[in-house]
Amino acid sequence: MGSGASPAIYWDAASSEPLHPAARAAYLAALDQGYADPRRLHRAGRSARLLLDNARAALAEALEVRPDEVSFTASGTAAVHLGLLGLHRGARGGSIAHTAVEHSAVLHAVDWAGGGTALPVDAQGRVRIAPPPPGTSVLAVQSANHEVGTTQPVPDLAGVAGGVPLFVDACASAGRLPLPEGWAVAAASAHKWGGPAGVGVLLVRKGARWRHPFPVDERIDERVPGFENVPAALAAAAALQAVVAEREEVGARQHALIDRLRSGVSAMPDVDVVGDPTDRLPHLLTFSCLYVDGESLVTELDRLGFGVASGSACTASTLTPSHVLAAMGALTHGNVRVSLTRDTTAAEVDAFLDVLPGVVERLRAEVGH
């Protein structure tokens, strides 16, 4: 499968899923009606406000939350920062506790807030079910890991939290899995489920002790500053509705394809497959190859037509050794993350398994292994 012989296969959906057809249709339809400021009382403003309200209602229905619990942000990272720091401010004291495998957006927010406590995880990347440390203001726990796919026991953690509110980063799982129970504030990101980039979602449960951590703005939604991107919000909601409607079928198919990949990769020598094999995101597999440089592996696979990721899910552009894999005690070099799109086929998986052993063998030979 040379690069000129067939189209490239994009397997980095965990970073950004290709735009869903429903999102494209909704966005184009909204461009002519959603350009005005939805705060204005003239006809164009009322039209934009109606589209924005429809987007919020549709997204709330898909996530099974209240419309007034939904805010649109400029990105998933912005939603994480607003959500986590707003809960921390609302607690009026204490420090943030978080799992050691949280996304860098969470870790940066924790550092900005003065630091916190990292909770260790097991070899699968799952945190132990236990009360948070004394003096904890917020417990930050992802619904599923962006890098290895392992789900976290959010409802069980909420049950032993002793009144400490949970902030849940659901960016990796929203649309693919139902939102877990037990969160006070959650965050999601539209481009992870096939919506447009530049749309994040902040979810604040009614009654949550959340206070705005940054300067406020006189917009429709007091939780989020800035002019709303109405067409993009509508496109994000349309994509999410479509993804949730097809979730059972697509998820089952992706689970089977990942099981096929896991079996083939596990049979290779000196390869460490990481993450829970069952309780995981349906579309994602991460493995590390001993004696192989991750950048070289990604480059060679790309040359052969497979677009995969390496390094940490949040620092892959710099190929920084993964803090997630390090926290799990797994091999941090020669790392590959495969995340399938909704259109991935069994033939593509088999083609990947056909070329991967030869690629790894050649790269190992170049360094004398």
Catalytically active residues, by annotation: 314
Distances (CA, A) of 363 to 43, 289, 312: 63, 10, 21
Pairing status of strand 284-289 against strand 335-339: antiparallel
Q: Write down the H helix ranges in 278-331.
A: 294-303, 323-328
Cα 123 from Cα 276, distance rounded (Å): 9
CA 333 from centroid of its chain's CA atoms = 22
Residues 6+ apart with CB under 8 A from 234: 26, 27, 30, 34, 51, 52, 54, 55, 58
Which residue in 175, 177, 179 sits closest to 166, CA to CA?
179
Nearest to 333 by CA among 307, 283, 297: 297
H-helix or E-strand spanning residue 266: helix 247-266
Question: Please, which residues bridge with residue 150 across strands?
Answer: 280
Residue pair 174/193 in contact (Cβ under 8 Å)? The answer is yes
Residue 68: partners with Cβ closer than 8 Å, 6 or more residues away: 206
Token code pair at residue 93? 């004291």
Q: How many residues does the chain have?
A: 369
262 vs 3: CA distance, rounded Å: 24
Contact assessment for residue 81 and residue 109, using Cβ atoms and an 8 Å cutoff: yes
Q: Please give the Cα distance from 207 to 282 (Å, whole number).
A: 33
